[in-house]
Amino acid sequence: MQKKLDRFKQLIIEITDLGRAEALLGWDQQVYMPRGGAEDRGNVLETVAGLSHKMFTSKEMGDLLTELLPYADTLEPDSDDACLIKRSAHNYEKSTKVPTEWVAEYARITTLSQVAWEEAKTEDKFEIFRPHLERVIDLRKAYADFFKPYDHIYDPLLDDFEPGMKTSEVQSIFDALRPKQVELLKEIAAKPVIDDSFLHIPYDEQGQWDFGVDVITRFGYDWNRGRQDKAMHPFTTSFGIDDVRITTRFDPERAASALFSTMHEAGHAMYEQGVAKSLRRYPLADGASMAVHESRSRMWENMVGRSKPFWQFFYPMLVKQFPQQLANISQEQFYRGINKVEPSLIRVEADEATYNLHIMLRLELEIALLEGSLQVGDLPQVWNQKMGEYLGVVPPSDREGVLQDVHWSGGMMGYFPTYALGNLVSAQLWEKIRQDIPNLDGQISRGKFDELLAWLRTNIHQHGAKFKPQDLVKRVTGSTIQADSYMRYLRGKYSEIYNL
Amino acid sequence: MQKKLDRFKQLIIEITDLGRAEALLGWDQQVYMPRGGAEDRGNVLETVAGLSHKMFTSKEMGDLLTELLPYADTLEPDSDDACLIKRSAHNYEKSTKVPTEWVAEYARITTLSQVAWEEAKTEDKFEIFRPHLERVIDLRKAYADFFKPYDHIYDPLLDDFEPGMKTSEVQSIFDALRPKQVELLKEIAAKPVIDDSFLHIPYDEQGQWDFGVDVITRFGYDWNRGRQDKAMHPFTTSFGIDDVRITTRFDPERAASALFSTMHEAGHAMYEQGVAKSLRRYPLADGASMAVHESRSRMWENMVGRSKPFWQFFYPMLVKQFPQQLANISQEQFYRGINKVEPSLIRVEADEATYNLHIMLRLELEIALLEGSLQVGDLPQVWNQKMGEYLGVVPPSDREGVLQDVHWSGGMMGYFPTYALGNLVSAQLWEKIRQDIPNLDGQISRGKFDELLAWLRTNIHQHGAKFKPQDLVKRVTGSTIQADSYMRYLRGKYSEIYNL
């Protein structure tokens, strides 16, 4: 059996390494590739992804997993080997159930669909995108059907991002959350509007860059095993646990955007930088799921980065960096400004109190589209109606409504809920951390994050993708994903800010 | 047969794409990778190289080539398909004759040997490097022996860089060249020394960068299909014909170094940017050989970049960029300064009149080591003796002598002669170009390079690696590689500068 295990690991290592080459090809494409290189790059990416898929879905891999899966049950369940075998078997089953023809068709359709979406968004004409989205939905329905029987057609899609999680779980979590979020928002809306105009004046780019770098260096982002570059969209990517990179972008008139985005990406990156060295060459050197990953970034961005103790330490430094902009703004004014709640049309610009509502709306629509209870042609109207219902604002155009996100054009259904789940997990972990580190606020107000990071390394980071998200969250907090912690967090924070 | 050809091409495309991923991994390693990423990167590179080697040396590839080789003879000899099959068959034969054990041992030994060389160079102790070099030589002898029978033990090594070329050809070319180069150098040495002190004062980096960018943009380097970054060592790399990148480095007190290096690398890059689109996905999207590649870079750097007409156009611009440094230096003084001949100890700093002598010395020593007529222990002494003989200078230390180059520590024997051959080819092509474009000097003196680049595209670049180097040079110039053109070029240039 040792021989089979060695051979299995050898194959997994090769596939993981190909994935890392692919990640670098993708990073470079978004960061440094000259425009003309697109065709060559597309070809190379297709080849590398194809080879890696072929290796993973090979008969040899299937035979090895068939023999190794019962063996894994004889191992210590938390051992690296047991986790690696089980997760690989799960992924193998998913990969092999999907026919190659579907994969090719999906790649073709989503490529066209993304072009159509861009045009539709630019022209503000949903009709351009409609027929493409219909085809994407059909393909996604067919995808789900490869995994029949399922409890819900959305389950196989969700599982791609949250291994083991069921649609019914997400729905019951969100059902508990929605009315409370809507209620909180109504209470806030009744209060005077916060003035954050000082955030919407020019801040020079180098100053933004330097301040952000200083912050995440103090967080514990390891520059010897990472770097930051500029890109159109901020993201984190890794080419191994010792090379985890982030990107950022700057808008001179929205300084807060780059700063919080830098903290956000550093949160993702510190997660992967903290994976145990024993997992170095395996796919387990990753986050447990999208939601757990998002909880890592959201925690640093919001619980830490938008907190009072944080700015107690950093605000004097920020004022020193930007005296013209902030000399007359008090720390309290600044704190209130970066925490201003304002129902808005665009998800990526939403504040902590409204963000999840954008997500819940999307999840409901995705599910209705897949169930067939909603037709693509009716989507813009239902979108606008739900926006009014949940957020109290109605998009004046589809560009600012149903066409705003790239996800559906690329077939990424099942992804959206992970953003909101990430918020919930971040609050659950935060409650536990505050119990375990009683003087956390004091540490943060002195710019000290080492105990916090050490806690995260021990409880979350080191495990990489060994455990399923629900298992990991339960193991650490005693409960699976739930909405109460997040609502307690929001209530506590905004009661003080808005005097609710 | 069409089916076999298609399958063969499919495999070659996949292998080529893996090679491009490998190239990007290498570029990033030298340009942007954080220090900590080295271990992960080494692993990924090993995997990708290993997969690509496995695919290329597979039985399927062998069977396909066996069937396709006779078929290639029925095709138009210059057709893409015929060239691709023949070159692949040649490489396949070379790859499969070398046992995997040798490849592994070679990788292991040269890794150790490079570490030892670095230490030996730092400490100026050849003895640290000696036992490692002995092992490298033994491995290289064994490598050559896999290709028995050969005319000369050096042939299989040379063939890795100059496909089809024989040691005896190189020796007879160099034998004709050596006395003439030595004689020219003696004549120059008898003349007054040129003052180039104005090149050895600080020039700011951004100014150097901007000027270099302007020059190569005018040459025709396509920034839409390339980019320049900083690296420890200047190099050119490509990830497809539409993404060919260069790097440069700056020494504030050796401004000429970065400038000519930028032109040099742009010469390499424009070669690969000019390969025919039909070769896009094949290994033929490369240079014909190292020598032909080097001829492309040397021509732009020397024949163009160190010429009088070039500076007629560019010198006023350079003075404008660096008024403090150059306001009191005439164009003639500058031209003489950048063409100063000075026998020196270090190859990479050598001028046009002495460079080839450094190479010939190295080739003779490589051959003697492989033939066994020279022992590694005697190498430093023989090195110093030959330096005195050819260049009239004797290294005061091994660091500035036999230990200066990285090549041997990495097992790169057979590579050095391509530098000198590149110089020779550049002059042969230059003579032909001057015949075909009679008013070339006039064009260059007006900053116009489009006709020159078009000529190169038509006659050299578009063919990529379709033809063997000697065949290509003969096809274009009517003669295989010879020394006379280069000597005519040197004589013409230096007679005027040194009043010989």
Which letter does DSSP use for residue A232 in this model? Answer: S
**Length in residues, chain A:** 500
HEC assignment per residue over B266-301: HHHHHHHHCCCHHHCCCCCCCCCCHHHHHHHHHHHH
Q: Which token pair is B205?
A: 């980096």
Residue A76 backbone dihedrals phi, psi, to 5 degrees: -50, 120
Determine which of A16, A22, A24, A244 to mutate to test the interface with B (most B C-beta atoms within 10 Å): A24
3-state secondary structure of A238: strand
Whole-angstrom Cα distance, residue A155 to residue A147?
A: 9
- Helices (DSSP H) in B307-415: which residue ranges? 308-321, 323-326, 331-338, 355-371, 379-391
Say whether the peptide bond before residue A283 is cis (omega within 30 degrees of 0).
no
Tell me the chain A residues in contact with residue B246 when contact means C-beta distances shorter than 8 Å.
none
Nearest-by-Cβ selection for A48 from B21, B34, B50:
B21
Residue B244 backbone dihedrals phi, psi, to 5 degrees: -120, 110
Is B240 in contact with A43 (Cβ distance < 8 A)? yes
Is A20 in contact with B34 (Cβ distance < 8 A)? no
Whole-angstrom Cα distance, residue B462 to residue B457?
A: 5
245-304 in chain A: CB under 8 A from chain B: 245, 280-281
With a cut of 50, which residues of chain B have pLDDT below it?
none
How distant is the alpha carbon of residue A372 from its chain centre? Answer: 27
What pLDDT, on a 0 to 100 scale, did the predictor assign at position A68?
A: 98
DSSP A449-461: -HHHHHHHHHHTG
What pLDDT, on a 0 to 100 scale, did the predictor assign at position B100?
A: 85
Q: Which token pair is A158?
A: 């969700």
User: What ipTM score was computed for the predicted complex, to two decimals?
Assistant: 0.93
Determine which of A32, A55, A217 to mutate to test the interface with B (most B C-beta atoms within 10 Å): A32
User: Mind telling me how many Å the CA of B171 is from chain A's nearest CA?
Assistant: 40
Whole-angstrom Cα distance, residue A360 to residue B285?
A: 51
Pairing of strands A236-238, A244-248: antiparallel
3-state secondary structure of B237: strand
Which letter does DSSP use for residue B200 in this model? Answer: S
User: Mind telling me how many Å the CA of B17 is from chain A's nearest CA?
Assistant: 5
CB neighbours of A193 closer than 8 A, spacing ≥ 6?
Answer: A340, A342
Nearest-by-Cβ selection for B224 from A13, A34, A44:
A34
User: Mind telling me how many Å the CA of A49 is from chain B's nearest CA?
Assistant: 11
Tell me the chain B residues in contact with residue A38 when contact means C-beta distances shorter than 8 Å.
242
Provide the sign of the torsion angle of the four alpha carbons A453, A459, A463, A467, taken in this order: negative
pLDDT by position in tens, chain A (length 500): 999 999 999 999 999 999 999 999 999 999 999 999 999 999 999 999 999 999 999 999 999 999 999 999 999 999 999 999 999 999 999 999 999 889 889 988 998 899 899 999 999 999 999 999 999 999 999 999 999 999 999 999 999 999 999 999 999 999 999 999 999 999 999 999 999 999 999 999 999 999 999 999 999 999 999 999 999 889 999 999 999 999 999 887 888 889 999 999 999 999 999 999 999 999 999 999 999 999 999 999 999 999 999 999 999 999 999 999 999 999 999 999 999 999 999 998 899 999 999 999 999 999 999 999 999 999 999 999 999 999 999 999 999 999 999 999 999 999 999 999 999 999 999 999 999 999 999 999 999 999 999 999 999 999 999 999 999 999 999 999 999 999 999 999 999 999 99
Q: How many CB atoms lie within 10 A of CB A404?
A: 19
Which letter does DSSP use for residue B479 in this model? Answer: S
What pLDDT, on a 0 to 100 scale, did the predictor assign at position A254?
A: 85
Is A18 in contact with B222 (Cβ distance < 8 A)? no
Tell me the chain B residues in contact with residue A280 when contact means C-beta distances shorter than 8 Å.
39-40
CB neighbours of B316 closer than 8 A, spacing ≥ 6?
Answer: none
DSSP A429-492: HHHHHHHHSTTHHHHHHTT--HHHHHHHHHHTGGGTTSS-HHHHHHHHHSS-S-SHHHHHHHHH
How distant is the alpha carbon of residue B28 from its chain centre? Answer: 21
Tell me the chain A residues in contact with residue B242 when contact means C-beta distances shorter than 8 Å.
34, 36-40
What pLDDT, on a 0 to 100 scale, did the predictor assign at position B233?
A: 87
Which letter does DSSP use for residue B110 in this model? Answer: H
B229 has which bridge partners? B247
- By the CB < 8 Å criterion, does A230 face chain B? no
Closest CA to B88 of B9, B7, B2: B9
Whole-angstrom Cα distance, residue A38 to residue A29?
A: 8
Tell me the chain B residues in contact with residue A14 when contact means C-beta distances shorter than 8 Å.
47, 50-51
Q: Which amino acid is at A47?
A: T
Contact by Cβ (8 Å): A412, A161: no
Whole-angstrom Cα distance, residue A289 to residue A463?
A: 12
- By the CB < 8 Å criterion, does B69 face chain A? no
Is B36 in contact with A242 (Cβ distance < 8 A)? yes
Whole-angstrom Cα distance, residue A86 to residue A104?
A: 27
Whole-angstrom Cα distance, residue B134 to residue B372?
A: 11
Which residues of B are part of the catalytic machinery?
A: 265
Pairing of strands B244-248, B228-230: parallel
What pLDDT, on a 0 to 100 scale, did the predictor assign at position B232?
A: 86
Q: How many CB atoms lie within 10 A of CB B182?
A: 16
Contact by Cβ (8 Å): B245, B266: no
- By the CB < 8 Å criterion, does A10 face chain B? no
- By the CB < 8 Å criterion, does A21 face chain B? yes
Is B51 in contact with A14 (Cβ distance < 8 A)? yes
Is A239 in contact with B41 (Cβ distance < 8 A)? yes
What pLDDT, on a 0 to 100 scale, did the predictor assign at position A200?
A: 93
Helices B126-145 and B355-371: crossing angle in degrees, nearest 10, is 70
CB neighbours of A477 closer than 8 A, spacing ≥ 6?
Answer: A428, A429, A431, A432
Whole-angstrom Cα distance, residue B230 to residue B211?
A: 15
Among chain A residues, CA nearest to B10: A47
What is the edge-to-edge ordering of all strands in the sheet holding B236-238? B228-230, B244-248, B236-238
Residue with tokens 């050598």, as numbered in its chain: B350
